[in-house]
Amino acid sequence: MEYFLQQLVNGITLGSIYGLIAIGYTMVYGIIGMINFAHGDIFMIGAFVALISFIIFGLTGVALPIILLLVLLIAMLFTACYGWTVEKLAYKPLRGSFRLAPLISALGMSIVLQNYVQVSQGARVKPMQPLFSGGLEFFKNSEFIVTVSYLQIFIVVLTIILMGIFTYLITKTDLGRAQRACEQDRTMTALLGINVDRTISITFIIGSSLASVAGMMFVLYYGVIDFYIGFLAGIKAFTAAVLGGIGSLPGAMLGGLLIGLIETFWAGYVSLEYKDVAAFSVLIVVLIFFPTGFLGKPDIEKV
Amino acid sequence: MKKQDIIKSFKDSLLTGLIALALFGPIVGLRTASKGEGLFITPQWGIVFLLVGLCILGRFLININSARRTEFKIFSTLSSKFSSITEDKAKHFAITGILFAVVFPFLPFTDRYFMDVAIMILTYIMLGWGLNIVVGLAGLLDLGYVAFYAVGAYSYALIATTFGWSFWICLPLAGLFAAFFGILLGFPVLRLRGDYLAIVTLGFGEIIRIILINWYEVTNGPDGITGIPRPSFFGLPFKRSPDEGEMSFHTFFGLEYSTMHRIIFLYYLILVLALITNYFTLKIRKLPVGRAWEALREDEIACKSLGVNPTNTKLTAFAIGAMFGGFAGSFFATRQAFISPESFTFIESAIIVAIVVLGGMGSQTGVVLASIFLIGITEIFRDLEQYRMIAFGGAMVLIMVFKPKGILANRKPTILMHGDKK
């Protein structure tokens, strides 16, 4: 029981990170119908920006909460620049062309970003000293002590706050309305006087910012990053988005949480080596029964 | 050009420079390096300013150029001319290409390095042709094609090292195994469409790779399988000193021993395998099942209402595509004599899909051109080891941006109702 609770806590933490990345996939898919393969690498860049700023602020000796806030903002800002540029360079010229073209362009962009970071930052893994220590301990008198570290609390709380802001943004503001309109019908939205290009750009900016927050959490949580982390985290987050129903925002959060939990429980109870297999196997099984994911809109084919 | 235009484009370039500074500043400018315990930062502002300067200059030139409205005219006319030439002369091109490929090993400038590159290009051409059946003809986006390549390579390696059977027995067996895996994957995913299919095939590719890494008893894990037997020339091995009472290739033909013999043989082997794939594809396109693939790609509902069974049709496409992937895998195993899961990462799948799409979906000649182009790019940048993949990815983006339908956009249906409308 205690072991189960511990795994639950770990799974929710991991799921928060995946969920934040998955939102970027699902938003882009919803609005322009493409798999943004470079999104995982945007996440990786976010992690690097966060790492670099942690090192810089680590030297100044400012208090921890201020450092965290500053790093968060810096990572979001710089990573959003990457998301914006990638969209302008590689996807915008391809809007309206056939379906696979942006996908290949995204694959190319992903290769470019990965190797660009490898060249400029080096191929070695980058370790970082933990900033957080300690945590809350439960079930102290049983055999297995359940630990919820402050870092885990920070990650989950931050995710909940961001998801709250984000949901507000999408459901209540003009920007969100424009975005949902673009999802439904881009031509009609343009006719109604909404700047579609700008809306799409903002989608990329929001998606990249959220991914960069996930990157920052990843740096803090694992303490080690390299230029390759974007790939696995990216495809798992995409799996999460598909599992929840791609194009659906609550679906992305749910999917992220599920993938995080599945992975942790599989690693804890079945086998550590095959934890990555678990996520994909579950995806295949789920898609057999729910071909559009859990919360996806049913796919209506028009003749 | 007016003065205002210049000022405007100058401002625009400065803005570009600002963004470039934001992009390159942290990642390039602040290089993290380990020193003793922990990380330290080494600034590299020189490179950043160089890059930012290049961006400003590049943007400025493009702006001035586009003000004159000739920006990409040269490029597009060139490329359209190119594709119209190749369209018209596709047949001539194919024949010259094959002839060139046949005499290539005996050309005066051909050396070991060229042969290796040629073998690699041919392997990718074969994989591209195999995947073209699934992606180009049947329209099913498969991002895990490398799984079948891996299954082919591993089944060849395991059969050959365990039973010691010859290449020619193992090759069809490996193909069969791969086809079997194709069907295995095909069953659950047939109901999925488009991007769902893409992610499931991607996941399948990863599953196969993770199993290869972790199933230590059979696959020897990350260490891979070594000592895979080399192919023999109809029973004649390519050995310098054959065993007692055994003939070797060079003694049988009375030639001087040379390692090039084996390489030339491998070259012809992959050439023949690739041509078989091509021939098979061209023929099957004209058979009912091939027609059904293309019809399914264009409109699944119409297909169903005309009595085409989508399940069986998709399964055959998966199985046949997988089989050719398996053949290519066997070839890879026998050529390298060593395989490990590292050779079968997602990037390989991405490269093969890129070859098919960049070539122009469904175009056989396009696959050849795209393979030569992409593999050629990485070879040109060989000396700049670190930058070759950047060039590779950049080329993918650029081709898509300028020619979104691929180098040879050939999606003409093989049959038309009222003849060719042109």
3-state SS, B139-202, equals: CCCCCCCHHHHHHHHHHHHHHHHHHCCCHHHHHHHHHHHHHHHHHHHHHHHCCCCHHHHHHHHH
ipTM of the prediction greater than 0.90, yes or no: no
pLDDT confidence band for B261 (50 / 70 / 90):
confident
Q: Is the pLDDT of residue B169 over 60?
A: yes
Residue B355 distance to chain A (closest CA, Å)? 10
What's phi and psi for B338, nearest 5 deg? -155, 130
CA dihedral sign, ordered B392, B395, B401, B406: negative
B135 shares a domain with B32: no
> What is the reported pLDDT for A240?
87
Those of residues 80-119 in A touching chain B at CB distance below 8 A are 81-82, 84-85, 89-90, 93-94, 97-105, 107-119
Contact list in A for residue B38 (CB cut-off 8 A) is 127-129
d(CA A293, CA B207): 20
B31 shares a domain with B102: no
Burial of A273 by CB count in 10 Å (0-12 exposed, 13-18 middle, 19+ buried)? middle
Q: Determine whether the interchain pair A239/B404 forms a contact, defined as Cβ–Cβ distance below 8 Å.
A: no
Closest-CA residue in chain B for A82? B23
B237 shares a domain with B287: yes
Mean pLDDT of chain B: 79
Domain count, chain B: 2
Residue listed under structure tokens 């596709």 = B90
Q: Determine whether the interchain pair A120/B23 forms a contact, defined as Cβ–Cβ distance below 8 Å.
A: no
Q: Which residue has the higher pLDDT, B258 or A241?
A: A241
Q: Is the pLDDT of residue A146 over 70?
A: yes
Q: What is the mean pLDDT of residues A133-150?
A: 76
Closest-CA residue in chain B for A54? B39
Q: What pLDDT digit, counting tens, does each position of A164-215 carry? A: 888 888 888 888 888 888 888 888 888 988 888 898 999 899 999 999 999 9
Best probe of the A interface among B12, B23, B27, B347, by most A CBs < 10 A, is: B27
pLDDT confidence band for B71 (50 / 70 / 90):
very low
Q: What is the mean pLDDT of residues B316-340?
A: 88
Q: Determine whether the interchain pair A291/B210 forms a contact, defined as Cβ–Cβ distance below 8 Å.
A: no
pLDDT confidence band for A302 (50 / 70 / 90):
low
Burial of B26 by CB count in 10 Å (0-12 exposed, 13-18 middle, 19+ buried)? buried
Q: What is the mean pLDDT of residues B24-53?
A: 76
Q: Determine whether the interchain pair A102/B41 forms a contact, defined as Cβ–Cβ distance below 8 Å.
A: no
Question: A126 is written with which tokens?
Answer: 């980058």
Q: Is residue B422 part of a domain?
A: no
B24 shares a domain with B146: no
Residue listed under structure tokens 């003409």 = B412
Percent of chain B with pLDDT over 70: 82
B253 shares a domain with B120: yes
Contact list in B for residue A294 (CB cut-off 8 A) is none
Q: Which residue has the higher pLDDT, A188 or B219?
A: A188
B120 shares a domain with B16: no
> What is the reported pLDDT for B247?
65
B230 shares a domain with B173: yes
Closest-CA residue in chain B for A76? B22
Q: What is the mean pLDDT of residues B26-30?
A: 77
Q: Determine whether the interchain pair A100/B393 forms a contact, defined as Cβ–Cβ distance below 8 Å.
A: no
Task: Give me the residue from A100, A119, A238 closest to B386, CB to CB.
Answer: A119
Q: Determine whether the interchain pair B396/A108 forms a contact, defined as Cβ–Cβ distance below 8 Å.
A: yes
Q: Determine whether the interchain pair A45/B397 forms a contact, defined as Cβ–Cβ distance below 8 Å.
A: no
Q: Tell if the pTM clears 0.90, that is, is over it.
A: no
Q: Determine whether the interchain pair A107/B396 forms a contact, defined as Cβ–Cβ distance below 8 Å.
A: yes
B134 shares a domain with B167: yes
> What is the reported pLDDT for B75?
55
Contact list in B for residue A239 (CB cut-off 8 A) is 199, 203
Q: Is residue B335 part of a domain?
A: yes
Q: Is residue B418 part of a domain?
A: no
Task: Give me the residue from B203, B393, B400 closest to A101, CB to CB.
Answer: B400
> What is the reported pLDDT for B417?
61
Residue ranges in B230-306 assigned as alpha helix (H): 249-252, 259-284, 288-298, 300-305
Residue B372 distance to chain A (closest CA, Å)? 17
Q: Determine whether the interchain pair A112/B206 forms a contact, defined as Cβ–Cβ distance below 8 Å.
A: no
Of B31-45, B161-175, B291-305, which gets the smallest average pLDDT? B31-45
Q: Which residue has the higher pLDDT, B410 or A183?
A: A183
Task: Give me the residue from A52, A129, A276 closest to B32, CB to CB.
Answer: A52
Mean pLDDT of chain A: 84
CA dihedral sign, ordered A217, A223, A227, A231: negative
Q: Determine whether the interchain pair A239/B203 forms a contact, defined as Cβ–Cβ distance below 8 Å.
A: yes
B153 shares a domain with B138: yes
B273 shares a domain with B126: yes
d(CA B148, CA B178): 5
Q: Determine whether the interchain pair A115/B214 forms a contact, defined as Cβ–Cβ distance below 8 Å.
A: no
> What is the reported pLDDT for B422?
41
Those of residues 53-82 in A touching chain B at CB distance below 8 A are 53, 55-56, 77-78, 81-82
Residue A138 distance to chain B (closest CA, Å)? 32
Final residue before a domain boundary, out of B49, B71, B93: B71
> What is the reported pLDDT for B250?
66
d(CA A284, CA A290): 10
Q: Is residue B419 part of a domain?
A: no
Contact list in A for residue B210 (CB cut-off 8 A) is 273-274, 276-277
Q: What is the mean pLDDT of residues B275-296?
A: 86
What is residue B1's DSSP assignment? -
Those of residues 113-152 in A touching chain B at CB distance below 8 A are 113-122, 124, 126-129
Final residue before a domain boundary, out of B45, B71, B97: B71
Q: Determine whether the interchain pair A283/B361 forms a contact, defined as Cβ–Cβ distance below 8 Å.
A: no
Percent of chain B with pLDDT over 90: 5
Residues forming a β-bridge with B34? B39
Q: Is residue B34 part of a domain?
A: yes
Which amino acid makes up residue A121?
Answer: Q
Contact list in B for residue A283 (CB cut-off 8 A) is 199-200, 203
B34 shares a domain with B107: no
Task: Give me the residue from A127, A273, A285 closest to B214, CB to CB.
Answer: A273
Q: Determine whether the interchain pair B397/A89 forms a contact, defined as Cβ–Cβ distance below 8 Å.
A: yes
Range of the domain at B56: 3-71
> What is the reported pLDDT for B421?
44
Q: Which residue has the higher pLDDT, B328 or A247?
A: B328
Q: Is residue B412 part of a domain?
A: no
Best probe of the B interface among A28, A111, A242, by most B CBs < 10 A, is: A111
> What is the reported pLDDT for A123?
77
Residue B24 distance to chain A (closest CA, Å)? 9
> What is the reported pLDDT for A214?
92
Q: Are B208 and B182 in contact, with CB atoms under 8 Å apart?
A: no
Q: Is the pLDDT of residue A43 over 90?
A: yes
Of A75-84, A94-103, A157-166, A233-242, which gets the smallest average pLDDT? A94-103
pLDDT confidence band for B141 (50 / 70 / 90):
confident
Q: Is the pLDDT of residue A303 over 60?
A: no
Final residue before a domain boundary, out of B42, B71, B100: B71
Q: Is residue B410 part of a domain?
A: no
Q: Is residue B407 part of a domain?
A: no
> What is the reported pLDDT for A209?
92
Closest-CA residue in chain B for A237? B199
> What is the reported pLDDT for B384?
73
> What is the reported pLDDT for B251?
65
Q: Is the pLDDT of residue B397 over 80?
A: yes
> What is the reported pLDDT for A212?
92
Q: What pLDDT digit, counting tens, does each position of B76-109 carry? A: 565 565 555 555 566 677 777 788 877 777 777 7
Question: A42 is written with which tokens?
Answer: 């945007």
Q: Which residue has the higher pLDDT, B84 or B270?
A: B270
Residues forming a β-bridge with B32? B41
B256 shares a domain with B296: yes
Contact list in B for residue A119 (CB cut-off 8 A) is 386-387, 390
Q: Which residue has the higher pLDDT, A113 or A134?
A: A113
Task: Give me the residue from B22, B386, B393 closest to A108, CB to CB.
Answer: B393
Of B12-16, B171-175, B352-356, which gets the smallest average pLDDT? B12-16
pLDDT confidence band for A286 (50 / 70 / 90):
confident
